[in-house]
Structure 1
Amino acid sequence: MREDERILCLNHYEHGIVINALNNLRNGLIGERRPTDAVDELLLKAIDAPYQKTKRRSQHAAR
C-alpha cells in the first residue's frame, strides 16, 4: 500500500509556531513520563523541512 504525503506551505512565522507547539507537547510528555517517539520524529521532520523557492512575478508581467 502506498502512503500518501501531504505538503504544508508555511511562512517563517508559522513554521516557528509549529516547532514551538511540538516542542511544548514533547516537554509535556516528558513531564508525564510518556513516550515521545512520534513527536520527536515529527519535530525533526518539521525542523529539517526543505525550503521551496517561490516564483516572484515581475512588475512588468502585471502590465
Structure 2
Amino acid sequence: MRDKTYHIYLDSPERKLLIHSLVELKNQLIQQGRYTDCVDELVFKVINAPTKRIKIEYV
C-alpha cells in the first residue's frame, strides 16, 4: 500500500514563516544535543520546492 502524499500551498510570507520555524526547531535540537536529520530534510524540501501559480476565486 502506498503512503498518502499531501500537498500544501503557501504564499510567500507563509513560506518564510515555515522556513524560519524549521530553522528555530533545528537550533533547539542542536542545543539539546539531538539529531537534526529530519528537520534538515524538511528545510531542503521547502527551499527547493517548485512554485506553482494557482487562481483563487472568491465567492
Give runs of ≥4 in structure 1 deviating > 6 Å.
none
User: What corresponds to 2:24 in structure 1?
Assistant: 24
- Give the Cα separation in 2 of the matches to 1:15 and 1:28: 20
User: What corresponds to 1:49 in structure 2?
Assistant: 49
What percentage of residue pairs aligned between the two structures are identical?
A: 39
- Give the Cα separation in 2 of the matches to 1:45 and 1:56: 25
Superposed CA offset, 1:17-57 (max 9, x none): 00000000001101111000111111111111110023488
- Give the Cα separation in 2 of the matches to 1:22 and 1:15: 11
Larger Rg: 1
- Number of residue equivalences: 57
Structure 2: runs of 5 or more not aligned: none
Structure 1: runs of 5 or more not aligned: 58-63
* Corresponding residue SS for 2:40: helix
Cα deviation, residue 4, structure 1: 1.1
- Give the Cα separation in 1 of the matches to 2:14 and 2:3: 26
